[in-house]
Amino acid sequence: MSRASDRAYEAIRSMILSGELPAGAQLAEEALAEKCGVSRTPVREALRRLESDLLVTRTDTQRSFVADWSIDDVADAFELRAMLEGKAARRAAERMTDAALDRIRAANRQIGEAVRGASADVVGFLEGNREFHAVILEVAASRRLAALLGTLVEQPVVWRTAHHYSREALLRSFGEHEELIAAFARRDGAWAEAIMTGHILRAYHAYADAHRGLAEQGIIREAAE
């Protein structure tokens, strides 16, 4: 992480996820290099990585811009993610070890605490949630599946909307995770896949609801055209 190209990657990525660099903004290498305190070489490398993450797009003339995620794009990504995470859950259930199961349980315990606190701890929720899904992906033991999902998980709009999820939605996530744990404990791949697929699709609708709400309040606006 101390390499300049990694720093550039993280810096640019977080500027995109936070909205500091809005959708459609041009990403000129020189300017980014200055902002990140490195030369253009590592910035170029970071841009290529972000491009393969689909966070950045390039025109046919090689100019880079912050990718513009329409609501359809988000739906598309969730749909694919539901399928792939479902598959991962199935494989994980078939390969589950007791040690991994403990780690998954611990992650959901953290989620439970984050959700039940006086004021919902969204950061804690996201952290536990990431760990929960990361362990499953690890147990699924498919480099390719992991690589594919890696490009789908981080979506700028989703990220910015997360803080507005209702507590009810967060609680339901926790409950679905508990059910997944039961499926894992039984090593029941079909059950795990079904729950996971539904879990992601429900999360999509939670996002869509929150997003619609925010749009109505004028807190966020839909991307132009």
Partner DNA sequence: CCTTCCATATTTGTATACAATACGATCCCA
Partner DNA sequence: TGGGATCGTATTGTATACAAATATGGAAGG
Q: Tell which one of 17, 35, 39, 54 touches DNA (CB under 7 A).
A: 39
Strand order from edge to edge, sheet including 64-66:
26-27, 64-66, 56-58
Is 153 a binding residue for its own copies by CB under 8 A? The answer is no
**Beta-bridge partner residues of 27:** 64
Give 5 or 105: the residue with its C-beta nearer to its own copies.
5
Q: What does 142 bind: its own copies, DNA, none (CB cut-off 5 to 8 Å by kind)? A: its own copies
For 89-141, the DSSP string reads HHHHHHH--HHHHHHHHHHHHHHHHHHHSSS--HHHHHHHHHHHHHHHHHHHT
For 225, other C-beta atoms within 10 Å of its C-beta total 6
Q: Going by C-beta distance under 8 Å and a sequence separation of 6 or more, which residues neighbour residue 214?
A: 161, 164, 220
Is 45 a binding residue for its own copies by CB under 8 A? The answer is yes
Give 31 or 147: the residue with its C-beta nearer to DNA.
31
Is 44 a binding residue for DNA by CB under 7 A? The answer is yes
Q: Under rule CB under 7 A, how many of the chain's residues touch DNA?
A: 22
Tell me, what DSSP letter sits at residue 63? Answer: -
Question: What residue type is assigned to position 32 of the chain?
Answer: L
Q: What does 40 bind: DNA, its own copies, none (CB cut-off 5 to 8 Å by kind)? A: DNA
CB of 61 to DNA, least distance (A): 3
Residues in touch with its own copies (CB under 8 A) = 41, 44-45, 48-49, 52, 54, 73, 76-77, 80, 83-84, 87, 142-145, 147-148, 151-152
